[in-house]
């Protein structure tokens, strides 16, 4: 057997050891993250899951009734059929089901007597304050 001499300094050996330990630590951290993700996936029961943020309609804190009020202030008395497209044009997403949206808007208008009043069948206006 022939002997070969290694021509590397102790400092270079220390640097290589440090670099390898750093890589090993990084791989260990990545493995830990993957194991945590796997555990979460198994707990949920789905290995691959797309999580989407909740859908919000309009500005935070702005309800459908607030949008309806703004529309009635601009346009005066309107039938529910006229309010729906104006709501959608204002950015209101609704449910995507026209009948459900109609019922939702009609419900908002008819269950808030301090804000809205019926002036005809399906037609609503804002309640005006009585001056005394």
In a domain, 58, yes or no: no
Is 0.95 surpassed by the pTM of this model? no
pLDDT tens per residue, range 31-43: 788 787 777 776 6
pLDDT tens per residue, range 10-31: 898 889 889 888 888 888 888 7
Q: Is 53 exposed, middle or buried, given 0-12, 13-18 or 19+ CB atoms closer than 10 A?
A: exposed
Please count the other Cβ atoms lying within 10 Å of the Cβ belonging to residue 116: 19
In a domain, 89, yes or no: yes
Q: What is the pLDDT of residue 129?
A: 66
Strand, coil or helix: 116: strand
pLDDT tens per residue, range 81-107: 898 888 888 888 778 888 888 888 898
The domain in which residue 105 lies consists of 64-126
In a domain, 132, yes or no: no
């Amino acid at each position: 057997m022939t002997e070969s001499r290694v021509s590397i300094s102790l400092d270079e050996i220390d640097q290589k050891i440090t670099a390898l330990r750093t890589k090993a630590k990084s791989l260990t951290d990545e493995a830990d993250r993957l194991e945590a993700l796997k555990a979460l996936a198994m707990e949920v029961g789905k290995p691959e899951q797309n999580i989407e943020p909740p859908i919000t309609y309009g500005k935070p804190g702005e309800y459908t009734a607030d949008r309806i009020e703004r529309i009635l202030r601009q346009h005066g008395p309107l039938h529910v059929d006229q309010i729906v497209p104006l709501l959608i044009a204002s950015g209101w997403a609704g449910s995507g089901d026209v009948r459900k949206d109609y019922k939702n808007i009609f419900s908002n208008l008819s269950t808030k007597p301090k804000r809205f009043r019926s002036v005809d069948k399906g037609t609503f206006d804002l309640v005006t304050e009585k001056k005394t």
